[in-house]
């Protein structure tokens, strides 16, 4: 039996980050923030505000648990304050709701469909249940296991979301293959847990110093089909 056959034999579960990996998270976020900055009459660049808001969001997620809609609203208001932009009570109330309209990447649905013929699939998402159900439907309902931060009461890179899917699927970390785009919340947890990981680097980013090196790096999901022989 060859190395690849052994590799496949040990895999019992394929897990995926959802937003940014399967669903076009970055485009959706940037459209929302661009419209907001225009409404506020802000002169700051979209890229600068996006990067700052994202860092604020990560900091809030690392604290006491709040549902993702609340995290989005809190982080948005704080970012606006940091740039001395006027903050209204209703700012960010619809942030989470807009996620329901975001679309999958072009290859996401077809790749998941093919993979699901050979493996059990799961998703581990820093989201909440009433939001992710819309993404799951758009992806063709391919998942046997769906774990959100709401279920785990914590956000990646905390270990709990990963531990929860291992418990539900009754598998060991060595029997899981994880695919994700985030070097902030996925790679820092999946790799130290011994989960083989593919990094979907759609925007040709450089891996940050200190970030665990993924086992594989691809620009989209299609190479998974060859790797996993589907």
The CATH number of whichever domain residue 74 belongs to comes to: 1.10.150
- Both 60 and 144 in a single domain? no
Q: Which of 88, 73, 82 is nearest to 40 (CA)?
A: 88
Domains: count for the chain: 2
Report the predicted TM-score, pTM, of the whole model to 2 decimal places.
Answer: 0.94
Can you list the alpha helix ranges (DSSP code H) found in 62-202? 68-82, 95-98, 108-115, 129-138, 149-152, 160-169, 187-190
* pLDDT at 2 exceeding the cut of 50: no
The CATH number of whichever domain residue 199 belongs to comes to: 3.40.50.1000
- pLDDT tens-place string over residues 84-112: 999 999 999 999 999 999 999 999 999 99
Q: Which of 100, 135, 153 is the last residue of a domain?
A: 100
- Both 89 and 112 in a single domain? no
Q: Which DSSP letter does residue 222 get?
A: T
- Both 125 and 208 in a single domain? yes
- pLDDT tens-place string over residues 181-207: 999 999 999 999 999 999 999 999 999
36-50 mean pLDDT: 97
Q: How far apart are CA 102 and CA 174, in angstroms?
A: 32
- Both 120 and 215 in a single domain? yes
14-25 mean pLDDT: 98
- Both 18 and 30 in a single domain? no
- Both 17 and 129 in a single domain? yes
- Both 14 and 116 in a single domain? yes
- Both 129 and 155 in a single domain? yes
């Amino acid at each position: 039996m060859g190395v690849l056959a052994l590799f496949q034999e040990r895999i019992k579960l394929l897990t995926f980050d959802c937003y940014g990996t399967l669903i076009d998270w970055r485009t959706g976020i940037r459209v929302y923030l661009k419209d907001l900055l225009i409404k506020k009459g802000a002169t700051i660049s979209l890229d600068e505000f996006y990067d700052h808001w994202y860092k604020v969001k990560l900091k809030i997620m690392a604290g006491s648990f709040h549902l993702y809609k609340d995290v989005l609203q809190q982080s948005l208001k704080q970012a606006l304050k940091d740039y001395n932009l006027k903050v209204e009570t209703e700012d960010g109330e619809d942030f989470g709701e807009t996620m329901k309209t975001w679309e999958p990447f072009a290859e996401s649905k077809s790749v998941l469909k093919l993979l699901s013929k050979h493996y059990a699939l799961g998703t581990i998402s820093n989201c909440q249940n009433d939001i992710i159900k819309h993404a799951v439907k758009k992806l063709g309902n391919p998942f046997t296991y769906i774990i959100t931060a709401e279920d785990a009461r914590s956000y990646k890179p905390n270990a709990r979301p990963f531990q929860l899917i291992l418990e539900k699927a009754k598998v060991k970390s060595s029997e899981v293959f994880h695919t994700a785009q985030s070097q902030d919340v996925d790679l820092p947890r999946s790799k130290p847990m011994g989960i083989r990981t593919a990094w979907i680097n759609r925007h040709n980013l450089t891996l940050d110093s200190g970030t665990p090196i993924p086992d594989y790096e691809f620009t989209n999901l299609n190479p998974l089909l060859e790797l996993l022989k589907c």
